[in-house]
Amino acid sequence: MPDAPLSEALVALSRFLVADASLGDTLHQVVAITTKAVPASAFAGLSLLDERGRTTTAVFTDEQSPEIDSAQYEEGAGPCLDAYRQKRVVRIDDMSEATSTYPKFARAAMDHGIHSTLSLPVIVSDQGLGAINLYATETYGFSTDDEDTATELATAASVVLANAQAYWRAFDQAETLSEAMKSRAVIEQAKGILMARSPSITAQDAFDLLVKASQRENVKLRELAQRIVDRRPPPEGGR
């Protein structure tokens, strides 16, 4: 494969700003860029572990991809599984010869007209998180050059995914921290109001009153505090 498409793909990946898109959009971009750089692939998919540790085809360029992949997930054996578990590239040049190694996957692939595949591990912090899977309709669809190109792109994609994960993890933490700070602020305001109404009570007394009222009315502490700050009466039926 000429160097130009590879260079263009690497530049596209390096310039991709994870802050400008959701994690899902980032994954779609990674798969689309990789597929374009390896024209032999009829379509592609990205297999990742979900929150329960199960493998799923999270992103794909054709609906056939998850249909084929489901066979290897059910059997627990397939090229994308070996790619990320063993952190190595798995290339199947002739699918008919893979029926003994990956029986269900090979049959599913051939049923969909796929006769060769290329699976590349996505590794973040030395941990295999999934694999980019390329599918070709011809036997020996992927050359050594294609494998080298796709391997470089998978490495670059791993960096993008690591950055995306770190960004969105930090974003979620910041959102949580922001909400916690807002809750603390409104609770402090409510305590101040209670102390102003009853000068004899301490800050701890005021907080205890808020906690008891929250439990009694079965509402969140922040919601109760906000109601006091807004000088809203308790809801109808409240005590």
For residues 150 and 160, which has the higher predicted lDDT (pLDDT)?
150
- Can you tell me the mean pLDDT for 201-227? 83
Instruction: State the SS3 of 191-230.
Output: HHHHHHHCCCCCHHHHHHHHHHHHHHHCCCHHHHHHHHHC
Where do the domains of the chain lie, and which CATH numbers do they carry?
3-171 (3.30.450.40), 172-229 (1.10.10.10)
Burial per residue of 94-112, b for 16 or more beta-carbon CB atoms within 10 angstroms, e otherwise: ebeebeeebebbbebbeeb
Question: Alpha carbon of 20 to those of 17, 24, 26, 165, 168: distances in Å?
Answer: 6, 12, 9, 13, 11
Residues 56-85 pLDDT 10s: 887 888 889 999 999 999 999 999 999 988
Cβ–Cβ < 8 Å for 57, 69: yes
For position 134, what pLDDT does the model report? 94
For position 111, what pLDDT does the model report? 96
For position 7, what pLDDT does the model report? 53
Rounded to an integer, what distance in angstroms lies between the CA atom of residue 139 and that of residue 162? 33
> How far is CA 179 from its chain centroid?
23
For residues 48 and 126, which has the higher predicted lDDT (pLDDT)?
48
- Can you tell me the mean pLDDT for 31-38? 81
For position 112, what pLDDT does the model report? 96
Question: Alpha carbon of 88 to those of 19, 27, 127, 197: distances in Å?
Answer: 30, 20, 12, 69
Residues 162-203 pLDDT 10s: 666 555 455 455 455 556 566 777 888 888 888 888 888 888
For residues 205 and 99, which has the higher predicted lDDT (pLDDT)?
99
Q: Is the pLDDT at 141 greater than 50, yes or no?
A: yes
